[in-house]
A and B are shown apart, each in its own frame.
Chain A
Amino acid sequence: MVNRTPSGAFAVKPLVAPQVLTASLTAATNAITIDTAGYAHCTICAVLGANDYADADETLTFQLMEGTSATAVACTDVSGATYGPCADTAFEGLAIPIFSVPLGGARARYLSVDLDIAGTTPSFAVALFGILSGPKQTSTPQATWTAVATTPGVPVEEVPA
């Protein structure tokens, strides 16, 4: 189902450039994070190509990570946020929205993804990007606040600008 809400723009951000991976891409080797500041939601999409499942033990698992700085190595796992394992040809040639991430709240500002690869002769063609959407409304902070006298039980009305 597709929803549209009056909440603004979106932005597509690269996360993992297209490549053939034969070893895990960890926080230490994936230098890219997505800065989610100003948005309410992030969808992370994986694009998969031809993979090697020759030994029937090759797997690819995605682990969502987060951090308070743009340095991927400083990111830590988001508990429970894993996708996979991709372990057979059903996962080839797909574009999959693997993580749908509401932002704010407990989520840190920067997101990244670990690609955990295992098996005898693993080889996974993969690319990842994120789509930020639902930009938060911003306003100019008021310099000072003026007290509004109220009578108990009487609602305060909005003060005209």
Chain B
Amino acid sequence: MQEKLQELLDTLECENQANISTDTDLSDIEEWDSMGKISIITLLATKYNYTLSFDELKALSKVSDILKFMK
């Protein structure tokens, strides 16, 4: 799980990673903006072969919600 979390944070290019855990609200992450969302959509599509639907994207609330798709 820790490796996936690190991959997620690297994808988002998070500068302040120290206080981010699986339970962190995405809205509290500065890099969770349109660019961050595109980066995660691309990661899931290219590496995990998962297409995030528009509804799933809107429903993402916590870091753990993204990690669920990284398998």
Chains A and B bind each other: no
